[in-house]
Amino acid sequence: MDDILTEKPSVSVEMAPMEGITTAVYRRVYRKWFEGIDRMYTPFLVANRTHKFKTREKKETEVCSQDLIPQILTDKAEHFIWAARELRSAGFSEVNLNAGCPSATVTTKRKGAGMLEDTRALRSFLDEIFTAKESGDLPEISIKTRVGVSFYSEAEDIADIYAMYPFAKVIVHPRIRDDFYKNVPNKDAFRVFYDRISHDKLVYNGDLRNTEDVRMVYRGFPGLSGIMLGRGLLADPFLPKRIWLGDDAGETPFSEEEKKNLLGFLEELYEEYERELSEGTAIVKMKDLWNFMAVSFPGNEKLLKAIRKSRNGSEYKTAVRNCLR
């Protein structure tokens, strides 16, 4: 089997920011049980005129580490600059701009993927934050983006804009905002960015669910800086290690040893959520995670249903143990 990444050992495997899922608790427990992730991103922190982060957001950045990049959501350059300075003073060497969230509650405010609707305003925003960066008091800036709002033809103008600025990373999810998470990521739109932006800055994100998906990206776009894993990683937490080893899960998603490891991870994650939140909230958060993990347990609908219907910690833990026998 081909070794996917030996041609470029410095390539990064990155954990996508997923609101409500890849929290500080999840990331902390994940690091303990699994290998292969080089960079992690916080779910977005909202920067607004209050120039204050919420208590929940502060928890996401309480522990500063070299592999953690805070993501900022805002439509105003002045608010981004404030947040970037705050995060640099906390020890972070890079921040990420969210230009990809497709949620209507975000895009109607011209935030997230809504920033892509007005390319003139986008350029003005980027001009201001990179001018501030020249003063030397801002960290490195990366961006996570979609390729357009309603049409894939928008990719050319957006990629041309990004090519004008010294981003540390340009993470491209090759869907338009109107796709949300439907349809297949558009590789032609990604190639527009690939042809315009230095490959050592470019990261591919979108529907990477197994090692073969990763192989296809690297065959089509050699020399990429990295790949970002979202739903595929939640479904199979071993995926980053499989990528490094050039190994596939096979017809049976998890080996017996992996099931034991996965059970330990899930039990500790539940306990951490219960300790920080409450039993009821911990169960809700774990069920949200199982919505992604369920695809890794084909033919186990009865056992998965027991997890979804669990009403307390005891029922939940029993259902999970039964599913991972």
pLDDT reported for residue 137:
86
| Alpha-carbon span 237 to 235, nearest angstrom | 6
- Residues 231-246: pLDDT tens digits? 999 999 999 999 988 7
Task: Please report the DSSP string for 161-183 in residue order.
Answer: HHTTS--S-EEEEEEEGGGTT-S
Residue 1: is it exposed, middle or buried by C-beta count within 10 angstroms (0-12/13-18/19+)? exposed
| Alpha-carbon span 45 to 296, nearest angstrom | 31
Q: Of 210, 296, 287, nearest to 255 (Cα)?
A: 296
Structure tokens at 130: 């990179």
Instruction: Check pLDDT > 80 for residue 310.
Output: yes
pLDDT reported for residue 252:
60
- Res. 204 pLDDT band, cuts 50 70 90: very high
- Residues 90-148: pLDDT tens digits? 999 999 999 999 999 999 999 999 999 999 999 999 999 999 999 888 999 999 999 99
Instruction: Check pLDDT > 80 for residue 249.
Output: no
Instruction: Check pLDDT > 90 for residue 35.
Output: yes
φ and ψ at residue 15, rounded to 5 degrees: -90, 120
Could you give all domains of the chain from N- to C-terminal order, each with its CATH number?
42-206 (3.20.20.70), 256-316 (no CATH)
**Scanning the structure block, which residue is given the tokens 């070299």?**
66
pLDDT reported for residue 5:
47
What is the mean pLDDT of the segment spanning 291-311?
Answer: 95
Instruction: Check pLDDT > 70 for residue 247.
Output: yes
φ and ψ at residue 177, rounded to 5 degrees: -55, -40
Percentage, residues of the chain above pLDDT 70: 96
pLDDT reported for residue 246:
77
Instruction: Check pLDDT > 90 for residue 10.
Output: no
- Res. 53 pLDDT band, cuts 50 70 90: very high
Percentage, residues of the chain above pLDDT 90: 90
pLDDT reported for residue 245:
83
Average pLDDT, the chain: 94
Instruction: Check pLDDT > 70 for residue 4.
Output: no
pLDDT reported for residue 179:
96
